[in-house]
Structure 1
Amino acid sequence: MFIRDYNQENEYIKAKKRVDEIKTFYKQLAVYVIINTFISTMKIRRNLLNGESFEEAFFDFGTFAVWIFWGIAIVFQALRLFGTDYFFGKEWERRKIEKFMGEEKDKRNRMLRS
């Protein structure tokens, strides 16, 4: 009985920690979007005031530099948190295989009905 309670409590603590990490990630992602939107807006505004056209101001590398470099860190954090399996793991493979098999079955059914 004690071991089962200990295992359940240990599993709960691990799950709670994972939920907290995911929550923190989404908060950081929101901060990333908000801060970078503000920085980009200020840079574009500054460039426009310096006489650049909107295209020149918008497509200036400095406008996107922070998005890119901070974004790389966000991607690595997401990979650490969700794992590469989330993107191209066994579950992803299974879903894709089922999708393609379903598409092939639909094609065969349509051909048989025609």
Structure 2
Amino acid sequence: MENYKQEGPGYWSAKKKVKEIKGFYVHLLVYLFVNIAIVAVAAYQDGDWHALDDIWTYSTAFFWGIGLFAHWLSVFGPNKLFGKDWEERKVRELMDKEKNRNWE
């Protein structure tokens, strides 16, 4: 493996992105294992297979799924809402307003 540390700041941003992606996949695996276990326990209670019609069986998967989706969006989704580009545009906008105010 080549030594990519010599490549400069691009190495550190790529390393950070890989860590974020890995964190999402770990989160996804834990989500899957835990929710499969919850459904399996709910389905097989008292030595008998039950119908899975209890809403509480799926509530954990539903609400945790919302959080998982938010995590996915932060890692893979477009950062148009409050991403780095937005921050830079907002800083420029505020600087321009301040500059125009000083000229008036």
TM-score (norm 1): 0.57
Note if 1:75 corresponds to 2:69: yes
Note if 1:27 corresponds to 2:26: yes
> 1:50 offset after TM fit, Å?
9.0
User: How many residues are aligned here?
Assistant: 75
Query: By percentage of residues, which structure has more helix?
Result: 1
* Distance in 1 between residues matched to 2:52 and 2:77, nearest whole Å: 34
1:6-21 alignment, distance < 5 Å = 8-21=7-20
Residue deviations 1:39-91 (CA, integer Å, cap 9, x gap): 11112222xx398x74xx31211111110010000000101111247xxxxxx
Identity within the alignment, %: 33
What 5-or-longer segments of structure 2 have no aligned partner?
A: 80-104
TM-score (norm 2): 0.62
* Distance in 1 between residues matched to 2:42 and 2:78, nearest whole Å: 35
* Distance in 2 between residues matched to 1:83 and 1:61, nearest whole Å: 30
> 1:20 offset after TM fit, Å?
1.0
RMSD, aligned CA = 2.5
1:54-73 alignment, distance < 5 Å = 54=50, 57-73=51-67
**1:44·1:63 contact (CA, 8 Å) conserved in 2?**
no
